[in-house]
Amino acid sequence: MKIYDTIVIGAGAAGMMAAISAARNEKSVLLLEKLPKVGAKLKATGGGRCNLTNTLSNDEFISSFGKDGRFMTPALEAMDYKKLQEFFADIGVETHAPDGFHIFPVGHSSSTIISALTSEMERLGVEVLCSQRVERLEYNETEVKGVTSKSDTFYSNHVILSTGGMGYPMLGAEGDGYSIAEGVGHTTSLIFPAMMPLITRETWVANCRADTIAKAHIRVDMKKYKKLYSIGDLIFTKRGIRGPVVLDFSREITPILDKLDEVHVLINMTKGMNEEDIRQHIKTELKKDPHRTTLQLLSTLLPEPISIELCLLSGVNHTLGFNKISGFSRDRLIKLLAWTPLTIIGHDGFDMAMITRGGIKLNEIDSHTLESKKLKGLYLCGEVVDIDGPCGGYNLQWAFASGYLAGMASTLVY
């Protein structure tokens, strides 16, 4: 019976990094993956370009995660974005930040990241077994003893759980980690799908499909949630809204939707112009050509399909000259241009969720080692724990940093 120094469950970003960091300490490592291949989700990241991390300092990075961000401090100290870039350079992948913030592999291909991690695991002698779905942990009264998959039991006194969350289940993560950890006394916080398109009650959005609005502002129009505000590119879909601004915003919206059936939001599609700015803009445009129709005028601010819909909503005939419409209708149109109301009534669930909100509770994990406080020798890292960040390399940075720390910590005590 072979006893490994460390067993890692799940070959995603966190698991592969954990396997490498443990193996670099000359330990025998077994990596078990449920799917036939490693890194399925990693391959899909950043639209195949893999936004690995970003250039925020650790303090800025931590504060982007809200109140639980501090938990990440030891992991980020072990591997911040600069060390992550060095790590990849050492294994043959140069990285860069074309916009000064988002960091990608220079070739802009996630496959290069997966090949480099795979080659490094091979070089270090990590044993990788695919198509092995782990079902439970083996343990005695004091510590972990190994893991059991559908077909086998594997033994080790150090097991790293890096099975991811529940988003995009076809890419492997289906929430197995929660039940595996719960089996040894852990608890999972409420789980919500996050970072995905949102469905609106308003059907007019379908007529504006494929129009991208740069720097749209979106905020919740409900007393208790007034602070929720986001800025970024927005795209209309057949059933609602998507795009970077919606991805981040949906992290906040899904827990509210779970309690209430609808969430009222307001969007500004005029790059943050207020009613007064819009009036001034229209005045200036009218000076250039007083005979322009309302639609022609609005099209200096917005794509034409959206201009038509906003005219319809405010009861304005868009073929008329702006000065021909009543003062009341004009005011209503300007109000709508400043803040257009939408009602969020749903989302596409975990199938389209890039991130899972919630996970194994942080107060049950030692942040310095990522070792479980419930079972000695068990470590938890990556998306399976109750940490989720915004869009822009935050979640992969956490997965890599926590995997690195868990792998290292698992090799320290023998």
Check residue 45 for interaction with ligand FAD (CB under 6 A). yes
Residue whose entry in the numeric block shows the structure tokens 């890096």: 162
Nearest to ligand FAD of 5, 388 (CB atom): 388
Check residue 246 for interaction with ligand FAD (CB under 6 A). no
Nearest to 270 by CA among 331, 198, 218, 205: 218
Q: Which stretch binds ligand FAD (CB under 6 A): 237-245, 321-329, 342-350, 390-398?
A: 390-398
Nearest to ligand FAD of 171, 313 (CB atom): 171
Check residue 113 for interaction with ligand FAD (CB under 6 A). no
Q: Which stretch binds ligand FAD (CB under 6 A): 31-39, 278-286, 329-337, 357-365?
A: 31-39
Check residue 232 for interaction with ligand FAD (CB under 6 A). no
Measured in degrees and rounded to the nearest 5, phi and psi for residue 184 equal -115, 20
Secondary structure (3-state) at 216: strand
Nearest to ligand FAD of 132, 294 (CB atom): 132
Among 34, 186, 217, 357, binds ligand FAD (CB under 6 A): 34
The least CB distance from residue 119 to ligand FAD, in Å, is 18
H helix or E strand, kind and range, residue 198? strand 198-200
Residue type present at position 80: D
Check residue 252 for interaction with ligand FAD (CB under 6 A). no
* Residue 130, number of CB atoms within 10 A of its CB: 13
DSSP 202-266: -SGGGGGTT-EEEEEEEEE-SGGGTT-EEEEEEEE-SSEEESHHHHHHHHHHHHHHHHSS-EEEE
Residue whose entry in the numeric block shows the structure tokens 């938890």: 380
Among 160, 355, 360, 387, binds ligand FAD (CB under 6 A): 355
In contact, 22 and 408? CB cutoff 8 Å: yes
Residues 72-101 that bind ligand FAD (CB under 6 A): none
The least CB distance from residue 360 to ligand FAD, in Å, is 11
Residues 148-167 that bind ligand FAD (CB under 6 A): 162-164, 167
Nearest to ligand FAD of 121, 399 (CB atom): 399
Q: Which stretch binds ligand FAD (CB under 6 A): 35-43, 64-72, 152-160, 364-372?
A: 35-43
Nearest to ligand FAD of 44, 295 (CB atom): 44
Gyration radius of the chain's alpha carbons: 25
How far is residue 87's CA from residue 113's CA, in Å, rounded to a whole number? 11
Check residue 112 for interaction with ligand FAD (CB under 6 A). no
Residues 322-351 that bind ligand FAD (CB under 6 A): none
The least CB distance from residue 357 to ligand FAD, in Å, is 11
Check residue 409 for interaction with ligand FAD (CB under 6 A). no
Check residue 399 for interaction with ligand FAD (CB under 6 A). yes
Which DSSP category does 352 fall into? G
Nearest to ligand FAD of 305, 389 (CB atom): 389
In contact, 225 and 218? CB cutoff 8 Å: no
How far is residue 375's CA from residue 156's CA, in Å, rounded to a whole number? 13
In contact, 17 and 404? CB cutoff 8 Å: yes
Among 71, 75, 76, 176, binds ligand FAD (CB under 6 A): 176
Nearest to 386 by CA among 363, 410, 409, 354: 363
Beta strand spans in 237-358 (E): 240-242, 263-268, 340-347, 355-357
Please state the three-class secondary structure of 11-65 as a single string.
CCHHHHHHHHHHHCCCCCEEEECCCCCCCHHHHHHHHHCCCCEECCCHHHHHHCC
Nearest to ligand FAD of 15, 407 (CB atom): 15
Among 4, 5, 7, 13, binds ligand FAD (CB under 6 A): 13
Q: Which residues, including other chains, have CB under 8 Å from residue 199's CB and lie 6 or more apart?
A: 239, 240, 344, 345, 346, 347, 348
Check residue 380 for interaction with ligand FAD (CB under 6 A). no
Tokens (6 digits) for 209: 């499909």
* Residues paired with residue 145 on neighbouring β-strands, in sequence order: none
* Residue 7, number of CB atoms within 10 A of its CB: 28
Site string for ligand FAD, 254-293 (x = CB under 6 A): ----------------------------------------
Check residue 194 for interaction with ligand FAD (CB under 6 A). no
Q: How many residues sit in the footprint of ligand FAD (CB under 6 A)?
A: 38
Binding residues vs ligand FAD (CB under 6 A): 9-15, 32-35, 40-42, 44-46, 50-51, 133-134, 162-164, 167-168, 172-173, 176, 354-355, 382-383, 393-396, 399
